[in-house]
Structure 1
Amino acid sequence: MEQERKRPVVALTGASGYIGNNLLEKLTQYADVIALSRNGDNKEDSEHVTWRSCDLYSMVDAEKGLEGADIAVYLVHSMLPSAKLTQGTFEDMDVILADNFAQAAKKQGVKQIVYLSGIIPKAEKLSRHLRSRLEVENILGAYGVPVTTIRAALIVGPKGSSFPILAKLVKRLPVMALPKWTRIKTHPIALPDVLEALDKSIDNNRLKGQAIDVGGPEVMTYKDMMVQTAEAMGRKPKLFDVPFITVKLSRLWVSLTTQSPKEMVYPLIESLVHPMTASSENMDEEISHGKMTFKQAAEWSLEKEKESSSSSNNKFKAPQVQQDVRSVQRIQLPEGKDAEWAAQHYVEWLSNKFNPLLQSETDEKMNYRIKLAFPDKPLLKLSYSHERSTSKRTLYYITGGLFFDSNKNERGRLEFRQIPGTQECIVAIHDYMPSLPWFIYKYTQARVHLFVMYLYRKHLQSMIELSETGSVDVRENPMQTS
């Protein structure tokens, strides 16, 4: 008897989300799925689905999440805050998530990463959102695992971000003044067609290492989509073009009208200044050409949304946010320096910059104590992780000090992480639970940290400028500009 072909094991991030949940149903037809979610332990396993809780801000969680996977699907985006206090941009958050995922995939022997991104237009200056999507694509491929990137413009589906926002505008506004960006062309694609493209990319050797544009049968403007969405709703809003509404004003208007979080709306609206159409040179005959028209997709999405709204089991639940702090900043490193250097240099600079108020001590195991000159008590104790640190990523666990609450903190940590292929470094505090009362912390320690990181960034920039003019050799005099 011929042995039955082994089912591939696919790790699916965001499995409980908008696209992931729909893709999960297709995958189980031929694969065993490791469904990754921040609250995966609360889900019930089935014959071909194993749920795992996974916080991709943690390298350890990423490695555990991808254990046993042959293929990994990356559907992650960090537009909405994940902590009670989030300091930093979504671009920098996405760097950490992608870098953890890519390194974990390499360690666990994953053979392919499939990544859903946005269409990248040919432009000298991309929006924050599109620039971040491209950066994530590069990071995912930086450690040697082949990446298949599916690039889509506006995805027409009952949930998610772009189409529901557009539908809310049409539903709530009987009269709409349309700014210039509504006349820019885009290439919408229905959710079922996106799922089909993702599905056909999985375990497809021909598509490994490729970035592929996908789109529906029509190229149209945002105004065209508003008109057709209104027709699908049986509405006839009055639309008129105006030249004077800026993108900044538009994003505020859209956020207020649709009651959508500005963290999600602002980057999306900023991207609409670019034509988002699939390029023929980046298209694949097998997966690029969606079949469903925009009108059909809009009608289908609105009907699905109506069904979902009438079901109490499918009502939207706000994502759970931990009562913690996540603070992420990006710095530019001097040429030839890495994350390991930045971590050591930062503590030395901190002591020199704020001497005699602050002092730092280190021991033979590279642990640090940051303390006040008086009284002689540490503010923070940083324990160096030899096991988890490399020259490109240096990790300290926050283990003590006056600012440390031992009853709350389980894995508070400080990391310095170099972005692959660049001289940029991410400095991040994760899962930190302050000992100060929350209101006091938010307006004192948290703001002081941002100010200190601002000064450190300026200090490094001074070092870079001086080294470029030949005034200082940063290799020999790392503290000269302190």
Structure 2
Amino acid sequence: MRCVVMGATGYIGSRLVPELLSRGHVVRAAARTPAKLAEAPWRDRAELVTADVTDSGQVAAALAGQDVVYYLVHSLHHHDFAERDRVAAHNVAEAARRAGVRRIIYLGGISPAGQRLSAHLASRGEVGQILLGSGVPTVVLRAAVVIGSGSASFEMLRYLTERLPAMVTPRWVGTRVQPIAIRDVLYYLTRAAELVPAGVSRGFDIGGPDILTYREMMRRYAAVAGLPRRFVVPVPLLTPWLSAQWVNLVTPVPRGIAVPLISSLVNEVVCRDQDIAAYVPDPARGLTGYDEAVALALARTREAREPSRWTWATMPRGRPRPPSEPLPTDPDWSGGTVYQDARELTTAADAGRLWRVIESVGDEHGGRPRARSVRGWIDRLVPGAATRRRSVPRGPRVGEPLCGRSGWPPGGWRVEDVDRPRRLRLRARTRLPGRAWIELSAAPTAGGSVYRQRAIFEPRGLAGHLCWKSLAPVRGAALGRMARDITDTAEHARPVERSW
């Protein structure tokens, strides 16, 4: 089928497009700024078009000739989001009817019956009703909290739980919610395009197998993440508005998004029925439980693993990355906290000499005294990570430990990646409240070469954040001296011939 995804650069849309392509659909990816998809590995298999949903002309052009329309757009970051979303929904509904579209698929939120809805949930429900009234068969999928890296609700949960070992919260921590993993959301979205009979036009609640309170979600997140037990104390006097201001202070989630989302936490969002099962059977693997969904979302923190190679969602051999992992189109505040110290120095030494100094880390015969001092600085970066020297100067190999003087496994560094003769990446093996890497690289320039150095730290819990910040003066001095020693050594070293 010919499917157009409105909002293809958004959290759901950017993950849905490759799923639709894998099922053999012809996909048109529509977005206000399609240039954000320039490096998507699937861009040559999809048609990219510009479509601002508030522009009726652009919407009509995007929907022309399509069988299925996925509407995955919201204006939550605008103060007048309800009015904007109302106008956009009418534009899409009208254009879909005129274009002869066979089905509209929309992802909204669960609206609990008999409760006063937040502005956010009320708007989501209104958009669904507008689309259902378009005259085009419409499937409205209603979900609660989506668990996956990049989901705004999940990111708030992540930052609150990781940064605060104890929390004083409003009563909403006792509100029940039925979270759903992003991969299950995508499963339902893709199957909705193939729903039979063709005339089905209604809403369906979708959710995972677990019904939890927000307090339970935080505590189970901490357990999965390996954090100490979190203490959550509800205080009746805290209003959702005050809570939103507090969340804005503690997390990097923008206030414009945090406020409407927090205001929705007073509403219980649990599936009222399981009617979707009559049309779309559960995944063969079963629906993803909360703990597993969190583990999948934490498997890869944004730019903490192989950051120089991290491009979109492609794994080795062309296999797509799990949708629970970060994508470049996700907001800067998503994907977890990763601290970096990046430095760059130019040197008159050629790139070959610079690289030989870089890869001499851990060699017993590192050459001049300055080369040996470089190893000393690397040892000092992480307490207990002193390296044991190799007796053969053969260069580092992937997986090789540069271990503590007491041997494997008390501490030290491990070679995580070598892109010879450009980049060496080491990972700290000592015990820390987080994970640490250091990346050293060399690149040729017209007058010599440029040395780039990055120290990367992924904190775990409040202790990890305090560790990075409290050691800033010592770390800065060590990293600066290390960079200067490496470039100075390269400039003064005599040529050495090596073969591997």
Identify the TM-score tier after normalising by the shorter chain.
Answer: 0.5 to 0.7
Which of 130, 141, 159 is residue 139 of structure 1 equivalent to? 130
What does 1:250-399 correspond to in 2, within 5 Å?
Answer: 250-280=243-273, 282-287=275-280, 291-306=287-302, 311=307, 313=311
- Residue 234 and residue 308 in structure 1: after superposition, are their counterparts in 2 closer, same or farther (change >3 A)? same
Give the structure 2 partner of residue 25 of structure 1: 18
Larger Rg, first or second structure (1 or 2): 2
Which of 189, 193, 200 is residue 202 of structure 1 equivalent to? 193
**TM-fit CA distance, 1:282:** 4.7
Question: Which whole-Å CA distance do the structure 2 matches of 1:288 and 1:267 have between them?
Answer: 33
1:155 aligns with 2:146: yes
Of the structure 1 ranges 239-248 and 194-203, higher mean CA displacement relative to structure 2 is found in 239-248
CA contact (8 A) 1:212 1:284 kept: no
**TM-fit CA distance, 1:89:** 1.3
CA contact (8 A) 1:78 1:94 kept: yes
- Name structure 1 gaps, 5 residues minimum: 1-7, 82-87, 320-482
- Residue 17 and residue 42 in structure 1: after superposition, are their counterparts in 2 closer, same or farther (change >3 A)? closer
Which of 20, 29, 37 is residue 35 of structure 1 equivalent to? 29
Amino acid at match of 1:262: R
Amino acid at match of 2:236: P
Which of 203, 220, 232 is residue 224 of structure 2 equivalent to? 232
Which of 99, 105, 120 is residue 114 of structure 1 equivalent to? 105
- Residue 34 and residue 265 in structure 1: after superposition, are their counterparts in 2 closer, same or farther (change >3 A)? same
Give the structure 2 partner of residue 11 of structure 1: 4
Which of 39, 54, 66 is residue 57 of structure 1 equivalent to? 54
Amino acid at match of 2:33: N
Question: Which whole-Å CA distance do the structure 1 matches of 2:83 and 2:255 have between them?
Answer: 17
Give the structure 2 partner of residue 98 of structure 1: 89
Amino acid at match of 1:32: V
CA contact (8 A) 2:10 2:329 kept: no
Q: Deviations over 1:257-310 (max 9, x none)?
A: 112212111111111111100012654345485611101101110113346775
Question: Which whole-Å CA distance do the structure 1 matches of 2:62 and 2:161 have between them?
Answer: 41
Question: Which whole-Å CA distance do the structure 1 matches of 2:307 and 2:138 have between them?
Answer: 38
Q: Deviations over 1:157-212 (max 9, x none)?
A: 11021011110101111211132101110000000000001111113133720200
CA contact (8 A) 2:150 2:331 kept: no
**TM-fit CA distance, 1:254:** 1.1
Amino acid at match of 1:34: R
**TM-fit CA distance, 1:244:** 2.4
Give the structure 1 partner of residue 445 of structure 2: none
Question: Which whole-Å CA distance do the structure 2 matches of 1:42 and 1:306 have between them?
Answer: 17
**Residue 304 of structure 1 aligns to a residue in which SS?**
coil
* Identical-residue share of aligned pairs (%): 33
Question: Which whole-Å CA distance do the structure 2 matches of 1:218 and 1:121 have between them?
Answer: 17
Question: Which whole-Å CA distance do the structure 1 matches of 2:166 and 2:115 have between them?
Answer: 35
Give the structure 2 partner of residue 71 of structure 1: 68
- Residue 223 and residue 206 in structure 1: after superposition, are their counterparts in 2 closer, same or farther (change >3 A)? farther
Give the structure 2 partner of residue 322 of structure 1: none
**Residue 165 of structure 1 aligns to a residue in which SS?**
helix
Amino acid at match of 1:36: A
Give the structure 2 partner of residue 215 of structure 1: 207
**Residue 280 of structure 1 aligns to a residue in which SS?**
coil
CA contact (8 A) 2:204 2:276 kept: yes
Amino acid at match of 2:32: R
CA contact (8 A) 2:150 2:330 kept: no
Q: Deviations over 1:341-360 (max 9, x none)?
A: xxxxxxxxxxxxxxxxxxxx
**TM-fit CA distance, 1:317:** 7.3
CA contact (8 A) 2:6 2:29 kept: yes
CA contact (8 A) 2:195 2:279 kept: no
CA contact (8 A) 1:127 1:270 kept: yes
Amino acid at match of 2:265: L
**Residue 114 of structure 1 aligns to a residue in which SS?**
strand
Aligned length: 306
**TM-fit CA distance, 1:26:** 1.2
Of the structure 1 ranges 180-189 and 234-243, higher mean CA displacement relative to structure 2 is found in 234-243
Give the structure 2 partner of residue 248 of structure 1: 241
**TM-fit CA distance, 1:124:** 4.2
CA contact (8 A) 2:111 2:269 kept: yes
Amino acid at match of 2:239: T
Over 4 Å off, 4+ runs: 41-47, 306-310, 312-319
CA contact (8 A) 2:71 2:107 kept: yes
Amino acid at match of 2:235: V
Question: Which whole-Å CA distance do the structure 1 matches of 2:304 and 2:279 have between them?
Answer: 32
CA-atom RMSD in angstroms: 2.2
1:170 aligns with 2:161: yes
**TM-fit CA distance, 1:134:** 1.0
**Residue 199 of structure 1 aligns to a residue in which SS?**
helix
- Name structure 2 gaps, 5 residues minimum: 312-326, 333-500
Q: Deviations over 1:366-416 (max 9, x none)?
A: xxxxxxxxxxxxxxxxxxxxxxxxxxxxxxxxxxxxxxxxxxxxxxxxxxx
Question: TM-score by structure 1 length?
Answer: 0.60
Question: Which whole-Å CA distance do the structure 1 matches of 2:36 and 2:116 have between them?
Answer: 43
Amino acid at match of 2:261: L
Give the structure 1 partner of residue 120 of structure 2: 129
Question: Which whole-Å CA distance do the structure 1 matches of 2:197 and 2:182 have between them?
Answer: 23
Question: Which whole-Å CA distance do the structure 2 matches of 1:77 and 1:212 have between them?
Answer: 19
- Residue 287 and residue 163 in structure 1: after superposition, are their counterparts in 2 closer, same or farther (change >3 A)? farther
Question: Which whole-Å CA distance do the structure 1 matches of 2:331 and 2:274 have between them?
Answer: 40
Question: Which whole-Å CA distance do the structure 2 matches of 1:116 and 1:155 have between them?
Answer: 11
Of the structure 1 ranges 264-273 and 304-313, higher mean CA displacement relative to structure 2 is found in 304-313
Amino acid at match of 2:194: D
- Residue 227 and residue 143 in structure 1: after superposition, are their counterparts in 2 closer, same or farther (change >3 A)? same
CA contact (8 A) 2:9 2:37 kept: no
**TM-fit CA distance, 1:106:** 1.1
Question: TM-score by structure 2 length?
Answer: 0.58
**TM-fit CA distance, 1:28:** 0.6
Amino acid at match of 2:153: S
